[in-house]
Amino acid sequence: MQITSKFTVAVHILTCIDIFDGQMRVTSDVLSGSTGINAVIIRNVLGQLRNAGIVETRQGSGGAHLAKPLDEITLYDIYKAVDCVDDEGLFHFHENPNVECPVGRNIHKAMDGRLAAAQSALENELKGTTLAEVVADTRRIIDAE
Amino acid sequence: MQITSKFTVAVHILTCIDIFDGQMRVTSDVLSGSTGINAVIIRNVLGQLRNAGIVETRQGSGGAHLAKPLDEITLYDIYKAVDCVDDEGLFHFHENPNVECPVGRNIHKAMDGRLAAAQSALENELKGTTLAEVVADTRRIIDAE
DNA sequence: AGAAGTTGAAACAACGAATGTTACAACTTT
DNA sequence: AAAGTTGTAACATTCGTTGTTTCAACTTCT
């Protein structure tokens, strides 16, 4: 089981947009070239990021731009934008425990809070990092090359 | 994306084993009845829990037993036992970023530490809860019925 | 106005992972 | 010897992820 690569792709393309915007028109084709991901998938991801208010794109004109400052975009915002987890939550609970069994009809209640806490721990960690930090690290590594 | 239900199934059957052992022979058929999960899947999960030293089962005789005290089994132990995540980690990194691109060849380095931190946050939370607590809650809810 | 390049989106294909099913050999107990 | 159980392999099914093709709508440039 793994969280969809759309998440790391999204971080990648947002980093590209910040670094290359101004130097070139950052089209889905350019981003496809940098990520190695199909341009249609890139446009899908860009669409999700646009819906979340993170980037701006326009039909025809070409070139994506950030919609808000880097330090106001957390990894959690991106994770949510690309739908890493659905409403069911991170953990998949087996769906038909037997209600005739005292354990079967109560195990859900006994576990839910703890599963939610684990998911929150993950998400809070993502909330604690902004794109600004990722881009800064990336620039630092590039400069050191 | 969701973590395999084998995890919640494993917690469920371990709870059953603790609660029903002594009253009945807790076979894969009994556990299948309580969870609503195919008995073969149950035997697979039991096999993984056995390999992890969490339960004891034997061919022929029938009936599973806990291999160590409830308070020495954490949710993390179970999560690891049933292989919720592989060696690649929880996050799926896109595999072919373009090394010709300064962002493409460095984004992995810029993100890896943060992804690992997020995964650790989840896992540390699971390490903080033992089966003893889950079983105690389950018994409490049953008694209150 | 027309040409060229781009985005947005739908429809479909390919692949792999999760889960279910069938079948059967090996084992234990009675 | 009979009956029930576990361990395991092989196969089927379903679903989510990712890739691909196609095209209408839009913008920019000449």
Which CATH number belongs to the domain containing residue A18 in this structure?
Answer: 1.10.10.10
Residue from A49, A13, A6 nearest A134 by CA: A13
For D5, which residue's CA is nearest its C1'?
Answer: B60
Residue from B138, B129, B145 nearest B15 by CA: B138
Radius of gyration from C-alpha coordinates of chain A = 19
Helix residue spans in chain A (DSSP H): 6-20, 28-35, 39-51, 75-81, 107-127, 131-144
Q: At residue A71, does pLDDT exceed 80?
A: yes
Task: Name the residue range of residue B11's domain.
Answer: 6-144
Q: Is the CB of B44 under 7 A from strand D?
A: yes
Task: Please state, in angstroms and rounded to a whole number, the distance separating the CA atoms of residues A16 and B105.
Answer: 12
CA distance B34 to chain A (A): 5
* pTM of the predicted model as reported, rounded to 2 decimal places: 0.92
From the list B1, B110, B137, the residue facing A141 with the nearest CB is B110
pLDDT (0 to 100) of residue A145: 83
A96 phi, psi to nearest 5 deg? -125, 55
Could you report the per-residue pLDDT of A91-128, keeping only the tens digit for each? 999 999 999 999 999 999 999 999 999 999 999 999 99
Which nucleotide in the DNA or RNA is closest to residue B1, CA to C1'?
Answer: D16
pLDDT (0 to 100) of residue A107: 96
Q: At residue A3, does pLDDT exceed 80?
A: yes
Is A115 within the bounds of a domain? yes
Could you report the per-residue pLDDT of B14-59, keeping only the tens digit for each? 999 999 999 999 999 999 999 999 999 999 999 999 999 999 999 9
What is the total residue count of chain B? Answer: 145
pLDDT (0 to 100) of residue A83: 80
Is B108 within the bounds of a domain? yes
Pairwise pLDDT comparison (B145 vs B54), residue with the higher score: B54
Do residues B25 and B62 lie in contact, with contact meaning Cβ atoms separated by under 8 Å? yes
pLDDT (0 to 100) of residue A101: 95
From the list B90, B109, B111, the residue facing A2 with the nearest CB is B90
Chain B residues closer than 8 Å to A117 by CB = 125
pLDDT (0 to 100) of residue A127: 97
pLDDT (0 to 100) of residue B1: 81
Q: At residue A5, does pLDDT exceed 90?
A: yes
Do residues B67 and B56 lie in contact, with contact meaning Cβ atoms separated by under 8 Å? yes
Q: Is B128 exposed, middle or buried (0-12, 13-18, 19+ CB in 10 A)?
A: middle
Helix residue spans in A4-74 (DSSP H): 6-20, 28-35, 39-51
Is A1 within the bounds of a domain? no
User: Which letter does DSSP use for residue A102 in this model?
Assistant: T
Q: Binning pLDDT at 50, 70 and 90, where does residue B87 land? A: confident
- Tell me what the mean pLDDT of segment B65-90 comes to: 93
Is B63 within the bounds of a domain? yes
Task: Please state, in angstroms and rounded to a whole number, the distance separating the CA atoms of residues B107 and B87.
Answer: 20
Mean pLDDT, rounded, of chain B:
95
Q: Is the CB of A97 under 7 A from strand C?
A: no
Is B117 within the bounds of a domain? yes
From the list A110, A133, A138, the residue facing B137 with the nearest CB is A110
Is B1 within the bounds of a domain? no
Is A93 within the bounds of a domain? yes
Do residues A34 and A42 lie in contact, with contact meaning Cβ atoms separated by under 8 Å? no
Query: Which residues 31-60 on chain B approach chain A with CB closer than 8 angstroms?
Result: 33-37
Chain B residues closer than 8 Å to A20 by CB = 103
C1’ C7 / CA B23, Å: 66
Question: How many independent structural domains does chain A possess?
Answer: 1
Task: Please state, in angstroms and rounded to a whole number, the distance separating the CA atoms of residues A96 and A108.
Answer: 11
For B90, the closest chain A residue by CA position comes to A2
Residues 96-115 of B with CB under 7 A from strand D: none
Q: What percent of chain B has pLDDT over 90?
A: 91
Write out the two tokens for B61.
């005789």
Is B36 within the bounds of a domain? yes
Q: Is the CB of A6 under 7 A from strand D?
A: yes
Q: How many CB atoms lie within 10 A of CB A141?
A: 17
